[in-house]
Each structure stands twice: as structure tokens, then as C-alpha cells.
Structure 1
Amino acid sequence: MKTSRFRAVVVTAVVAGLALVLLVVATAGDVYAPLGNADPGPLTTYGFAVVRFAADAAAAGCFGGLVFAAFVAPGRRGGALSADAYAASRFAAGCAACWLAAAVVAVPFSAAVAAGLPVARVLRPEVFLPTLSATEEPKAWLCVAVAAAVTTALAWPAMAWRTAVAAAVAAGVGLLPLVSVGHVSVGAGHDVATNVMFWHVPAASAWLGALVALLARLRRGPDALVLRRYHRLSLVCFVVTALSGAVAGFVLARPDGLISRYGLVLAIETAVLLAAGCCVAAWRRRRSGALLVVAELVLLALGTGGSAALSALVPPSFVNHPATVQETVLGYGLDAPLTLARLAGGWRPDLLFAPIALAAVTGYLLGLRRLRRRGDHWPPGRVVAWLAGWAIVVVVTSSGLGVYAPGTFSLHMVTHMALNMFAPVLLVLGGPVTLALRALPARGDVPGAREWIASLLHAPVTRFFAHPAVAAILFTGSFYALYFSDLFGEAMLYHWAHQLMKLHFLATGYLFAWVVVGADRTPRPLPHLVRLGMLFAVMPFHAFFGVILMSKQTLIASTYYHYLALPWAGDLLADQRLGGGIAWASGEIPMVVMVVALLVQWSRDDERKARRADRSGEADRDAYNAMLAELAARRN
């Protein structure tokens, strides 16, 4: 594809997506009165729609371009970017700069829409600053701007693969703040809708941006490896985008709201997405076809326009199904009293953690199957530990325990301890990195998944977090910083912050357990005696934390629990003290497990060293006897 044609295709796609946005906004009518807001005027309404579309398109180009540079374009041995990867990284850096500019412009526009004032009036400092502090979306746009700035700084000079990955992570983080404050984060079912949109937005952005980067690459001729990797990426992105979009659309529209303008735009976006998926399938079979590529790009741009247009409309569920206080805070109601039957049978799948667990278990079992087909041995105990660890994660996030945990501090502490201590110990004993390095094939001149994992394992950032002092401080300090400040009360008011808290529990617990008893080798191997000392040094901090909670006379997160006002919760302070007892008692169990696991590893390591020494000694004796035999033969 020639450069002029490539630019024409990109411009056509952008114009098509923007035209859809403007058409929907022009025919939407008054979208402010149903929410009790004032109309900020046509300039602000249309201007914000255009800026939102520009930001979404630039974000997709940035994130997808970096994904293409890091994982689609062939790299070089030694961690340097190839010419194709460097070109994609520079394209992503340009998109990141545009994303930054659009996000900065979106801050006053979003503040104007939230305040119901023209954007020119909101630009006055005496109006802008109070509006910014009182509304959430302008703050989210500021977070996006910061992430875009960091991405630009990383991607523009990037010459190494790790830098491109770091830029992609920064861009991926920048995609999420708007999800946290958008329509999906409000009303009944917002927990489900927000979780799936955390998958939807990165997948859709990676698909669109990687396709543009691929078209730019195809100007220099086809490449079988690039096409094969892109097809895998696009297939995964299509499945994730389609499923997550369907779930979020159903939550926001509900069956009785599908026959509406919102439902029509949702249907158009769904049809566009399915058509793009058909283009991917057809292109994959034919291995060629410029028209299919162009059609896929135009369809994805229309889908981006449809998403921006949906953000300007009022979801029917807001009007037809007003949320209660509990649904506003949690996404669902908790009026039913807590019983053992509801804890065991009242499942509400957490669509953030459950897919992670499913992917982790599936990948592990696939790697295990590859090893067994080769005839290699893998300890069954590691398999059991890995499966049990993820089973704990799923149970405490998706079962009735996970549903009722936000209602009382004691149940929350059960989930905290499970995610921070019980599950991580089992997961690190599963040895997932070692399994991946053994199961994945080693590439020649073109690095693949095995080389990517090895590179990240020895990256400076990994070495920093794997430092025993850092791992121990994060593991123990998180308890005190979270619960003995206002962080816990603020985090529980927002679903995204609650999920981030769970991820933090799991990540810091895994990091500490990996350094101490992990089956995978760390970047900073420690003697067994030092690991044992780390365990004994950390134990008192958990005990003190539980004791402090049990003796505390003031209620933690009192505003949050009084908002919920659960009729069955009982004495909140007594429940908090129960949570302290749970933290004190249950914290010792995984510590004991880690001590036992460490002692077993220590013993096995000594046995291996002894056998190695014996083999070395036998070899020396055999060599000595052979020398004597040779000398005797010469004398004869």
C-alpha cells in the first residue's frame, strides 16, 4: 500500500467515525434534563464530543502501536527494537502527543458539561477550580493527560524492547480512568459493567492501533511472522471486545431499553464490531486482500465513534431503573441477611478476577501438556498448588463471600487475608515462570514469548521490587497505610478503587511469597537463612496489626458503612474487632506454611548439593584411578 493511499484510508476511517459521533449528538435531543443537569450549549456539547472522539482515537493509536512494537513486530536479539518496531513506537509516540493534547482540552469541556455551563465560562479560574474539585470526570481526564505525557516521554526515544513495554503499560493505565468515572461506573450493576469495560477498552484500543501500525508496515511488503502475530492478537481482541461489550451494553440498556436511541446506537456498534470480526476471519483465510484490511479499519473507526457517541447519551437503565443507595455504592443490594447458605451459594462472578484466574489456569495446563508430550516431568504438587491458589481467588471474589465482603469489616478481612497471604503462597509454589520457560520454545534470531518473559524477569524494575526490603515493606506496610488512614474508607466508596485494592493485596502477597519461598528463581537469590529471617521479622507486624484492630475504639470507614446502613450488620465496632481477630489468627497459618515450605526447600537444596559433591568426588577418584592404570600400563 502506497503512502498516499495509506493516509487516505486513515483519514477516511477517522472522518467516518467522527461523522457517526456528530450524527448521534445532533439527533440525541436533550440528554441533560433526564439526569437533572443544565444544558451547557451546543458549542460545549459538540466540542466535547469531537474532543472525546479525538482522544479515544489517539489513545487507541498509541496503545495499539506500542503493543504492535513490543509483541507483533519482530524484535532483535539483545533487547533492541527492530526497524519495524521502532517505526511503530514512533507512530505511537505521535499518537500519545495528540492524546495528551486532547486530554488537556477535554478537562475544561468535561467540567463545563458536569456544571451545565458554557466552556468559555468554565475557563474562568473562579469557576473552573471549584468545578474541578467537585466533579470526577475532569479529574479522570487529568489522570489521562499525565499517563499520556509519561507515555510520550517513554515512547518517543524508545530504542529498547523493555522501554516499549513500559510505554505500553503507561498507555494501558491511561485508558482506565475514564472507565472508572463513565456511565458503566454508575447505578445498579455497575460492578459488572465496570469490570468488563476494564477488558473492553484496552482490547478495542489494541486492535485498532495495531491495525493502523500493521497497515503502515505493509507499505514495505508482507511479512509472514507479523501477519501471524497480528491475526492472533486481533482474534483475541475481537473475542474480548465482543463479549465485554455485550455484557456492558445489556447492563446499561436492560431489555426494556433496547428499543431506544441508545439501543439503536448500541446495535450499530455491535453490528460494526461483528463485521470487523468477519473481516479478520476472511483475511486470515485468504492471507491477502487490501479491501478487507481497509474495511476492517473503517469499521473499527466507526466502532470508536459509536463508543464516543454512547458516552454522550443517557443509558436507559438510569431512567427506567433508579438505583438504591446500596446499588449506587456496591452495584447490587445486600438487604438479605447474611447466612451460610448465601455465603456458599450466592455467587456473583467478578468479571475482573475470574477471567484472570481462567487464563492463568488454562495457560498453566497448556504448558503442562506440552511438557508431558515431550516426556518431561513436572511435580504434581506444583499443579495442585497453582490450581488451589486460583480457586481461592475465585471463591473470595465471586462467591457469596465476595458478595457480602463489602458489607462488613470482618468478611472484608477474610477476603483480604485470603488474597494477600493464602492464595499467593500457593501460587508461588506452583512455579509458573519456570514452567513457562521450560514449555515455551526458544526462538532463533527473533525473540518470542520465552525471551520476553526472561527479559522482564531480569528487568531493573523487577530487580527493584524483588529486593527483600522492598517486598517486606510493601507486604507489611500496606496493612498500616491502608487501614489506619482514610484510604480504606475512600477506596470502598468506589468500585474501581475497591478492585485496585484487591489487586494490590494479591500482587504484594505474591511478591513477598515469591522472594521467600517461590519455586521460580528470583533476580536476587537469597540464602535460605536470610529468607527464614525475613519471615520471622515480618510475623510480629501482622500480629501487632490484629491486636491494634481488636483494641481500636473508633470505627474504620464509618462514612462508608453508614451509607450502606445494612439492617443485619449489627454492632459495627464489634464486627471490626472480629476482623482484627481474624487478621491476628489467620495470619499465622500461611506464615507457618511458608516456614515449612522453606525448610523443605532448604533440605532438598542441601541434598542436591551433597549429591553433586558426591558425583564430583567420584569423578575425581575415577580420573585418579584411570591415571594410575595408564601409568601402570606404560611401565609394563
Structure 2
Amino acid sequence: MSETVRTQPLDGPADGSAAPVEPVRARWTVSVTTLAMALVAVCLAIGLAATVSPRVLIPGLPDAGRLVEYATPGVKALFDLTAALTVGWLLAAVVLVPPREQGRLDVGGYRAVRAASLAAWVWAAAALALVPLTYADTYGGSLVDALSADTVIQGVSVSDAIRGYLIAAVLAALVAVLARVVLRRPWAGALLVMALIGVLPQAVGGHAAQSGDHDVAVDTMIYHLVGVSAWVGGLVALLGLVRQRVAHLDVIARRYSAMALVAFVVVALSGLINAWVRLAAVNDLWLTDYGRLVLAKAALLITLGLLGWRHRARTLRTLGDGSDRRPFLRLAVVEVLIMAATLGVAAALARTASPPTSAAVPSDIELLLGFDISGPPTVGRLLLDWRIDWILGPAVVAAAVLYLVGVRRLRRRGDDWSRGRTAAWLGGCAMVLVATSSGLGRYAEAQFSIHMIAHMVLGMMAPILLVLGGPTTLALRVLPAARRGEVSGLREAIVAGVHSPVTRFLTHPLIVFALFIGSFFAVYFTPLFDAMIGSHLGHLIMNVHFLAVGYLYYWVIIGVDPTPRRLQPLVKLGLLLGALPFHAFFGLALMNSHTAMAAGYYTGLVPWNTDLVSDQRLGGAIAWGATEIPIIIVVIALLAQWAKSDEREAARSDRTTTRGAADDELDAYNAMLAGLAERQRVRQPDAVPPGDGR
């Protein structure tokens, strides 16, 4: 972006020393490349959309016109590109560019954040433009009619895609504004999280929301969107940082290389699974427009993979040793243009009619949930009827494996690690896996009482075991520390994150208490529950929210990892006991309810759940009674930690007292010697002092 190249010559050293300045045309290389990417993506999306069958073909709807037909994929391509650029520039500031002391952004990080602000403004504008365009394209009518406020409100209420574009517009605008004042890496990380949240709602639009298995399609699309954003946006950010000759280019290149390899694998696998879910037969790949676009996108991805391999093998090595950077720049420009073409194909693919499904007609439950349910919940079905949650499932499996790898490294070098902590961590991961991927997770999307069981496991049981596992402490002991003069690494980033202002704010007793208690009432006693329960992404957001808030709450109370705040045991006990009446009131309110929540979603969803109010009251009883076991575990852990703390304090006091007594004895002995010397001097006044020359 042009904002990133105004403060100094692009080829000038980052320390401001004298260096030859290239002609003026080189100042705009990154900006011109970005504009070329936008032009390629938009033109290719429009051209392909004009030659393939549209995704929505509903008889009786009025024609939206050629303007809407061609502008929608073009603006969608611009939306995808600028979203990727925003995420990529923020990733550069948070992950790629090493910060200065105390987490302050380096010159390269500061410029990356400013470039993210510019990209976010275009992203927000494209998202706003897609709101009326999508409404007109989906429901028919002219673009002028779709611009009215009533039409926009109606579209937001009935369409996940339109709602996602509006959310993205709001978040992109916030990122654009806040990025102008961010100077520290933790706050840049908060903006990165905000940008990623703005990307996620797009996973429920397009083909991901159609027919069966759309839960798998949504999960894989989330991987796809995040991977593309990191890969495409990260390469553009790397290109800009190289043109500016910022410091530590060798470190930046190595970090991007590792990130790009992971992103390529994620994008390839998620795209393959997502296309397989949509295709009814293999020959659909060459017999349908959708399949041919999938093949074209796959060919572009393979080309990008080969170019990435060439980068890793040759050009990235030259960035840190002062060699000629022109081979990297030329190859990177070609690569980002191919990436832009891939985004254009993807935008056209999202609007292309998918192949007809197989002859098997999916049930109403399968159309709504993405999968079928065999019958009423039983203990066997809840435990054995598994369907993997492709977001939290792989996440907790990877967390368990990494934890075991860390423990093994500690023990191989002779250090010990508590078996109890290992068991607690693995038990917490197993609970998350069961709550989201077993029959419990399957039935939680269809019945409120089962949903409440999963909520209690994710929000109250699993976090207790996870915080007792001490993952941060294990990571700090395993990861190597940067030596003096070296660039800070992952260990220093973890330490900075733990003690960052964001973490310090979230771990304030009043804040964490309000988050933990307020979540129950904000989710279930507001329209928020009705809005989220009807989509797979909403279920995923609730699961992640309950798990994260529960972890934060119990980390402050009984966590073995270091926290930015040292709380007294009585304060921790107050946080624990203070939540009991609020939690009891929440459960009793559900038990005494007379109106079913999300009745439009649950009514007729499963044939055995006919009395929604009774099932909701059962969920309230589960919430009311589920606090006993967690409270007992937490109280025992808190008292044990309190006792150990007292023992350590007593031992420290004993050492201080012993040291003080020894010092007193030494002082008394020295005083005695000084007294004897003084008496001897008095008795022999004429004695010749030692060393006297007489």
C-alpha cells in the first residue's frame, strides 16, 4: 500500500543511514502490484461469472439485471482480496516482524499496521456494497430497490450471507480506525483477532450453507478462508517489507516461509474436502461449470505451490545476506498475481450453480443441521454416535500431542514434570472432544437439555482440568530463550502476551467475574441465542466462547500458570463463591420458565422433543445442579494451593530468620574481637604499630 512507503526510500536501510535511492517509479511497486491484483481478481471474476450458470435459479423471481449479475462477483473478489490484505498486514506486524523492547512495534510493524488500515477501509466499502448487491442477486429486483433501509433490514434478518457482510463491514471499519493509533504488538494482535472474526461469517454463505454435510462444509471453509488470508496477505506484506528493507529480513522470511507452508496445506486440504462435499460424482469435475472451476482453482493452487517451493529453495535465502533481491521480487510479483487470479476464480465459483445432488433425498433434520439423527438420545448414542467437529476436534488433539511432546523433551533433558498436570491436561482435552465431537455434540444442536450438558462440560468442567495442566509453564520451560542480541522468539512472545495490557485487563477480578457470569444471561436471556442457535457457525461460536471464558475464569482462581495479577487466596475464594448465587438464579430462571427459547428453531426439529418448555426446564435443572462437582474440585485445588503457598512462605520466613540469627552471632563475635583488641591497645600504649618504620 502507498501508505507504507512514504516515510523513507524503499531501498533505504531501516536505520536511516545513507543509501542510494531508486527512481521514483520504484516507490510505488507494492501499491501498483496491489492495484494489479485487484484488477486481475475483479476482471476474472466478472468474466467467469458471465460464462457460467448462476448459483440461484428460482422461477418467479424478477431479474436483477446485468449490473447486479456482473458487479456481485467482481465486488466479492475485491472483498476477498482486501480481507486477505488486512489479515496479512496485521500478521506481519504481530508474527513476522520482531518487536522492539516492551512489545512496541518496530518500524516494519508500524508500517504494516498502517497498511492494514488502508486495506481495511476498502474491505469495509466492499462489504457494504455487497449487502444490497447480494439481496438483489438472491431475491431479485433492482439494485435501487435493494438500497432502501427496509430492504437491508429484511435481508439481514433472513440471509446469513448478508448478515455476514454487514458484520465484516463493521469490524473492518473498526480495524481501519484503530490501526491508526496502535503502537504495540498486543493491541495489533487484538486487531488481528477482530479481522479474523470479520472473515469467518463468510463461511456460512454460498455453497457451504446448502444441502447435507454443511457443518463439514462450514468448518472446512473456515480453514480455507483463514489459510488464504494468511498466505495471500502475508506474501504481499513480505513483498512490501522487502521493498522497504526493514530490519531482520532473514527472520521475517523464515517465519513467512513456515507460515506459508502450513497455509498451503490447509488451503489445499480444506478446498479438496469442501469440493468433495459438493460433488455428487467424480465426473462432475469436468461435466459441470462448478467442477471445471474447481479444477481451474486446483491448477492455480498447484502452480502457487511450485512457486512457493522455488521461493523456499532459492530466493528467500537471499533476503538476509545482502544479496540481490530482484529475483525474489520478480517471483513474488508473479506469485501474488496468480493468487489474485485464484481469488477471482473463487469469487465466480461462489456464485456458480453446484452440481445436482445424489438421488437420496436428505431429511429435514439433515437439511437444517447438516447431518441426520437416528433417534432419541440414549446413553449409548450420546457416547458412541460420533461426528467430528472439524474445528475444536483437531484443535484439542493437536493441543494434547504438543503437550506430550513438551513433556517428553523435558524428561529427555533430565527435568521432571508432574504426572498430575499431564493427566489434568489430557483429561480436559478429552472432555472438549467428547462435548463437541461425540453424540453429545451431535444431539446438542437438536435439543436444549443436551445443549446445556455440553455447555456445562465446556464452560465449567473442561477448563478446570485445562488450567491445572499448566500449559504456559510447560511451554516456557521447553522453548529456548533468546540470547542477548538475538531476535525474540516464541518464548518471549508468550511472556509478553501473559503480561500484556490486554491480558491484564481481562484478568482483573471484576472483569473476569462479569465475563463468566454475564455470559449466561447475555447468551440465553437475549435475542442472541435465537440468532446463533440456527446456524452451525453460531454453535461453534458459543462453544469457543464458553470454553475461553471458563478457562480465563479458572485460570485466575486456580491456574498454575503465571498471571499478570497476583491475587490473595481470599480474593480467589470470593470470586468462586460470589458466582454461586448468580449461577443458581440462572438455573432456577430456566426451571421456572413458561416460554420456550428459540421455539422457531426447535419446533418440529426432532419428533420426540414435543414439549419444548419441559425440555428447557430440564436444561435449567442441569445448569443448577452441574455446579456442585466443579465447585468441590476448585475448592480442593484452591485450598491445596493455599496450603502450599503457606508452606513456601513459612520456609522462606525460616530461612530469613536463620540467616538473621547467623548474622547476629557473627556481629556479636566481631564485636567481642574488637573489644579484646581495644583492651590490648590500652594495656600496651607504647607498642610499635605494625608496619611502622621505626
For the aligned pair, the TM-score class normalised by the smaller chain equals: over 0.9
Q: Is the 8 A contact 1:154 1:164 kept in 2?
A: no
Query: Residue type matched to 2:572 in 1?
Result: R
Is the aligned partner of 1:141 residue 2:165? yes
Could you tell me which of 613, 623, 648 is aligned with 1:583? Answer: 623
Query: Residue type matched to 2:89 in 1?
Result: G
Q: Is the 8 A contact 1:335 1:567 kept in 2?
A: no
Could you tell me which of 235, 260, 265 is aligned with 2:288? Answer: 260
1:333 CA displacement = 1.5
Q: Partner of 2:191: helix, strand, or coil?
A: helix
> What's the counterpart of residue 168 of structure 1?
192
TM-score (norm 2): 0.85
> What's the counterpart of residue 591 of structure 2?
550
Specify whether residues 320 and 462 from structure 1 end up closer, same or farther in structure 2 by C-alpha distance, changes over 3 A only.
Answer: farther
> What's the counterpart of residue 269 of structure 1?
297
> What's the counterpart of residue 85 of structure 1?
109
Could you tell me which of 204, 211, 224 is aligned with 1:200? Answer: 224
**Which has the larger displacement, 589-598 or 65-74?**
65-74
Is the aligned partner of 1:451 residue 2:479? no
> What's the counterpart of residue 594 of structure 1?
634
> What's the counterpart of residue 94 of structure 2?
70
For residues 170-569 of structure 1, the aligned pairs below 5 Å read 170-221=194-245, 223-255=249-281, 257-258=284-285, 259-286=287-314, 287=317, 289-290=327-328, 291-316=330-355, 323-443=362-482, 444=484, 446-564=487-605, 566-569=606-609
Q: Deviations over 1:279-325 (max 9, x none)?
A: 22232122354354334323322221122111111222569776532
1-side partners of 2:178 and 2:359: how far apart? 46
Q: Is the 8 A contact 1:45 1:113 kept in 2?
A: yes
2-side partners of 1:627 and 1:230: how far apart? 62
2-side partners of 1:4 and 1:301: how far apart? 19
2-side partners of 1:413 and 1:301: how far apart? 44
1-side partners of 2:594 and 2:82: how far apart? 51
1-side partners of 2:299 and 2:548: how far apart? 38
> What's the counterpart of residue 681 of structure 2?
none
1:373 CA displacement = 4.1
1-side partners of 2:152 and 2:427: how far apart? 52
Q: Is the 8 A contact 1:154 1:163 kept in 2?
A: no
Which structure has the bigger radius of gyration? 2
Q: Is the 8 A contact 1:338 1:568 kept in 2?
A: no
For residues 11-160 of structure 1, the aligned pairs below 5 Å read 11-33=35-57, 37-124=61-148, 130-131=154-155, 133-160=157-184
Q: Is the 8 A contact 1:276 1:295 kept in 2?
A: no
Could you tell me which of 655, 658, 683 is aligned with 1:618? Answer: 658
1:6 CA displacement = 4.9
RMSD, matched Cα: 2.6
> What's the counterpart of residue 21 of structure 2?
none
2-side partners of 1:87 and 1:451: how far apart? 22
Q: Which consecutive residues of structure 2, in runs of 5 or more, have no partner in the other structure?
A: 1-10, 12-25, 319-326, 678-694
1:208 CA displacement = 0.7
**Which has the larger displacement, 349-358 or 246-255?**
246-255
1-side partners of 2:57 and 2:454: how far apart? 41
Q: Deviations over 1:516-571 (max 9, x none)?
A: 1111232232111121122222223333333343343433333222140x233364
2-side partners of 1:35 and 1:274: how far apart? 39
Specify whether residues 131 and 512 from structure 1 end up closer, same or farther in structure 2 by C-alpha distance, changes over 3 A only.
Answer: closer
Q: Partner of 1:441: helix, strand, or coil?
A: coil
TM-score (norm 1): 0.93
Specify whether residues 321 and 265 from structure 1 end up closer, same or farther in structure 2 by C-alpha distance, changes over 3 A only.
Answer: farther
Q: Deviations over 1:20-62 (max 9, x none)?
A: 3123212113543268754312111111111111111111111
1:128 CA displacement = 5.1
2-side partners of 1:409 and 1:401: how far apart? 12
1:18 CA displacement = 3.2
Q: Partner of 1:502: helix, strand, or coil?
A: helix
1-side partners of 2:360 and 2:187: how far apart? 47
1:250 CA displacement = 1.5
State the identity %. 40
Q: Which consecutive residues of structure 1, in runs of 5 or more, have no partner in the other structure?
A: none
2-side partners of 1:537 and 1:15: how far apart? 58
Q: Is the 8 A contact 2:196 2:226 kept in 1?
A: yes
Query: Residue type matched to 1:299 in 2?
Result: I
1-side partners of 2:506 and 2:59: how far apart? 46
Q: Is the 8 A contact 1:32 1:39 kept in 2?
A: no
**Which has the larger displacement, 158-167 or 232-241?**
158-167
2-side partners of 1:318 and 1:169: how far apart? 36
1-side partners of 2:511 and 2:585: how far apart? 20
Q: Partner of 2:656: helix, strand, or coil?
A: helix
Q: Is the 8 A contact 1:115 1:131 kept in 2?
A: no
1:625 CA displacement = 3.0
1:248 CA displacement = 1.6
2-side partners of 1:102 and 1:557: how far apart? 33
Query: Residue type matched to 1:588 in 2?
Result: E
Specify whether residues 263 and 486 from structure 1 end up closer, same or farther in structure 2 by C-alpha distance, changes over 3 A only.
Answer: same
**Which has the larger displacement, 111-120 or 445-454?**
445-454
1:363 CA displacement = 3.3
Q: Is the 8 A contact 1:547 1:581 kept in 2?
A: yes
1-side partners of 2:62 and 2:279: how far apart? 23
1-side partners of 2:468 and 2:184: how far apart? 32
Specify whether residues 126 and 418 from structure 1 end up closer, same or farther in structure 2 by C-alpha distance, changes over 3 A only.
Answer: closer
> What's the counterpart of residue 688 of structure 2?
none
1:392 CA displacement = 0.3
Q: Is the 8 A contact 1:111 1:137 kept in 2?
A: no
Query: Residue type matched to 1:158 in 2?
Result: V
Figure out how many residues of one structure are paired with residues of the other and give that number.
635
Specify whether residues 125 and 429 from structure 1 end up closer, same or farther in structure 2 by C-alpha distance, changes over 3 A only.
Answer: closer
